């Protein structure tokens, strides 16, 4: 939902606050750390993922995957959008951001820095 709000602000020419951008970047850093190489998150809680729209991951599953094998925790498309917004490599689908137009820091315009393979601590996340 925060990504959709950011994209709407950007489309209107509005600049989000520095605090909003910091929290959005932190969200993507956390998701990028938690997701596996295929862009899947571990199940935690009730999984009401708060999606505003369907992304490529969702549409591909609807077309190509049996109902019992679908995974609502697939976030590769979302990670591609975050990577384009912040110029980071969160291992997401690079074609997803194309639906939203050119992004100033998109991976197509500059080579993103890769996340390191070291352990990352998120002290305020509530995760042990």
Best CA proximity match to 75, nearest among 110, 106, 98, 49: 49
The pLDDT tens digits for 52-77 are 777 888 788 788 878 777 776 778 88
CA–CA gap between residue 30 and residue 8 (Å, rounded): 23
CA–CA gap between residue 94 and residue 79 (Å, rounded): 9
What is residue 22's predicted lDDT score, i.e. its pLDDT? 93
Q: Which residue has the higher pLDDT, 81 or 44?
A: 81
Beta bridge partners of 20: none
Orientation of helix 2-12 relative to helix 76-86, angle to 10°: 40
What is residue 82's predicted lDDT score, i.e. its pLDDT? 87
* C-beta of residue 7 within 8 angstroms of C-beta of residue 28: no
Count of beta carbons in the 10 Å neighbourhood of residue 11: 10
What is residue 19's predicted lDDT score, i.e. its pLDDT? 95
pTM of whole model > 0.85? no
Q: Which residue has the higher pLDDT, 8 or 117?
A: 8
Most confident of 14-18, 30-34, 47-51: 14-18
> Coil, strand or helix: which one is 101?
coil
Mean pLDDT of the chain: 76
């Amino acid at each position: 939902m925060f990504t959709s709000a950011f994209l709407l602000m950007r489309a209107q020419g509005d600049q989000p606050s520095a605090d909003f951008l910091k929290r959005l970047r932190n969200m993507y850093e956390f998701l990028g750390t938690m997701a596996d190489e295929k862009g899947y998150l571990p199940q935690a809680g009730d999984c009401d993922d708060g999606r505003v729209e369907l992304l490529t991951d969702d549409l591909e599953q609807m077309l190509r995957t049996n109902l019992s094998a679908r995974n609502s925790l697939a976030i590769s498309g979302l990670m591609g959008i975050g990577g384009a917004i912040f110029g980071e490599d969160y291992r997401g689908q690079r074609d997803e951001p194309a639906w939203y137009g050119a992004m100033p820091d998109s991976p197509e315009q500059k080579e993103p820095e890769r996340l390191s393979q070291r352990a990352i601590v998120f002290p305020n996340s509530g995760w042990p």
